[in-house]
Structure 1
Amino acid sequence: MLRDMDTRPISQEQLASEVKSIYAGLVMVENKCISADQNVARNVEQDERSGPRGSDFWIAMIALHRTLLHEHHDFLLASQHPRASPALRRLASKYSMPARMWKHGIHSLLEVLRRHLPECLDYMLEFVYVAYHMLGSLYETVPAFEDTWTECLGDLARYRMVIEDEDMRNREIWTGNARTWYTRTADRIPGSGRIYHHLALISRPQQLRQLFYYCRSLTSELPFQSARASML
């Protein structure tokens, strides 16, 4: 993992080589994650017949996706290094790295774990915290993608909120966390209707507030059409 990147002397050529090397490893791990998640999703019915998977399986799944998160972390730190050329800095956007990190490194596993609740509750809690910590770190160290990090942190907080059935105070805390992150995102990109839809979802059971956010979602510069179905 890259460390002390602000003070470490490195040439443009070395930095480009390091980014290339990190990306090659990242793609390998990413493909493994995609394959593993797809295999689990395809075998849901088989799992129901044969019983729950063992703890070793879920521990390995979390470890694999954690590795992918660390690969993304290293890639983003290297490509956004103060000495990086403009072309190198553009690579993260060119290859949709933040979106890929969320899709293949976080969201896909969360959905797999969600479909295996309640037996996977502890594993889902563990992975939510792993991902939340990583995104929190990127929020501090890679501000170029702040809008993405705040929305993803809101999504993670919402996952944590939804699976909290026992401690209502804890659920309220995570609801507040989600609202804080989504509000920060909305403040930065007020034209995104998707963010107001997120805010509407966590406003239950306050129907008036929900209606307000659904309307904002549909009338924003970039309206989120799914809000119409959510209102029905």
Structure 2
Amino acid sequence: MAPKPAKQVAKTVQAQGSTSLHLQPHPTTILTTPPVSKLPTCPTCTHFHADNITLQRDLTTLQDQLETYNLDTSRAAALESQLTTLQAAHSALESDFKRLEKQYEKEHKLLEEVVDENLDMTDELMEAKTKCYNQKVQTQTVERKLEEVKVELRQAEQQVKALEAQVEALKEAKGKLEMILGSEEAVEAFRVDGPVEEVEDIILAAAERVMAVRKQREQERIDVLSAKVTMLVLFVVVVGGCVVFA
């Protein structure tokens, strides 16, 4: 049987308490629980006593429910406070997330620009490397040509030295010939090209003649030189004979 509400129990006690149908004396109040040995034997009091026990049990239940409600209310307040704190933290996190997202987009754009610049610099670097390689190839080609020119220059120097030696030999031969013939006009008489005024021209002409004879007609040069020597000996003999007979 479910417990009666407190207001209904109070009305029942008040309605029944207004009667005077008591069989024997009993305590002035029936709201307290007397000892078992002193329980009233009055049916009305016994009835009231049972209702009092039920009322106290209901009151205890209500007190327990009130304490539970207070605890639940405290927990609800704490949970609400935690919820408020979490909502504030959530708002702060959302704000930080938006800020970080904007920062990420900004840094991503900067990174893309840096990547584009690096790509451009890479292209320029490749072009510079290509130009450097081409210049290196050209430099190597120039160096090879320079070595060839140096070789040719050394050969020309050797030829010049040989020509200088030939010129010196021709000078020496000319001096000896002048000593034998006694004058420069006699030397010019043996020249095919005619008289020459400058000694340098004589040397150059003689060198050219010697080089031409060596390349084209070596044997003819020998014959011509032999003939000239023969004529020179005859001329010396004639001159010596004239001197002797004089």
**Which TM-score tier does this pair reach, normalised by the shorter chain?**
under 0.3
TM-score normalized by structure 2?
Answer: 0.17
Higher relative contact order (CA 8 A, sep 6+): 1
- Greater helix share, 1 or 2? 2
- Larger-gyration structure (1/2): 2
